[in-house]
Amino acid sequence: MAKGYLGNEAIRPMETAMWKLCNKKGYDPHTAFTGLLDYIIGFFDTTGKAVEGWRFDKEDCRAFYEIMLTYFEVQRQQTARLGWYDAFGDLYMSLHTKGGGKGQYFTPMNVAQVVAEVNLSGIDFNNKPGTMTPMGRRLTVNDPAAGSGRLALAGYSVMLRVMQRECGWDYYHTAANRPYVSVEDLDYNCVKMAAINLAMHGCYGEAVCHDSLCEPGEVRLGYIVGEADWPFPTGIPSIRQEMDPMRFVCTRQWGMKQRQFEQLRETKKAQESKQLTIW
């Protein structure tokens, strides 16, 4: 590793190419990074819709294409070595450390793995009913403040291992019943990174941009991941933009809880009114 280099060495080719594009075209790192995310999501979109608000020219698209190919190779190598890998999280932190930005720092991958091991190892998934998702009834792992999706990916990898080694499921049963991954975040680019991460790791899942505390039932931007691989395995990763809150597990569950809360509140008001009348 070169002296003074702060990023992960694995993503250095991607970072070099990104800075080359920024310096050549005068883009700030945030603009170029957002463009790269939109380009890759468009690549995975099976509907063929044009990316909204696209502002880049053919030369930029060529650069994004080359960076995407580099990303695929980095992801392939590191996933084979580590089990799962978040290249975009590392790239995001490295670019914004040097070029300004929001100063976000994501959970280190080894810490995310430890958290998942502590919380999920030893659980018997045979008797878990699961949640109804766009890909059928499935066990679901959720992170309401996901960042680039590291904790959710770690949880997904641990759940697959537990299903096979501790619950005794064979490869095909595990693959057919693999968990559904639901990630939420307030930042648009984090949601885009998470969606790409889910697609690259073969997940069924969703990525939703909203405030999971103040507006859990709303969708500012959302993606359904893995539809092209269901119900018949194709091995084709897919990402489709979706804005209907009822299409997402996280917002649908929040909506159900909100309705239950409102019903309880109305019942309490009716009881208080009745008691006041009797008095």
Instruction: Summarize the confidence of residues 83-111 as an average pLDDT.
Output: 83
Start-end of H helices in the chain:
12-25, 29-44, 58-82, 87-99, 109-120, 150-161, 171-176, 188-200, 249-278
Together in a domain, 98 and 143: no
Which domain-ending residue is among 105, 128, 147? 105
Reduce the DSSP state of residue 184 to 3 states and report it. strand
Spatial distance between the Cα atoms of 62 and 104, rounded to a whole number of angstroms: 28
Q: In whole angstroms, what is the distance from residue 183 CA to residue 180 CA?
A: 10
Domain tally for the chain? 2
Residues 116, 36 within the same domain: no
Per-residue pLDDT of 33-60, as tens digits, reads: 999 999 999 999 988 888 888 999 999 9
What is the torsion angle, in degrees rounded to the nearest 10, for the CA atoms of residue 151, residue 232, residue 248 and residue 35? 70
Q: 178 is in which domain, residue-wise?
A: 107-279
Q: List the structure tokens of 231.
A: 């119900």
Do residues 176 and 272 share a domain? yes
Task: Tell me the CB-side half-sphere exposure of residue 96, using CA atoms within 13 A.
Answer: 17
Residues 204 and 96 in one domain: no
- Whether pLDDT at 206 is above 50: yes
Domain boundary among 54, 75, 105: 105
Same domain, 27 and 88: yes
Q: Which two tokens stand for residue 108?
A: 């280190």
As given in the structure block, the two tokens for residue 35 are 């463009």
User: Using one digit for the tens of pLDDT, what is the confidence trace for 118-132?
Assistant: 999 888 888 888 888
Whether residue 2 has pLDDT greater than 60:
no
Q: Look at residue 98 and tell me whether its pLDDT is greater than 80.
A: no
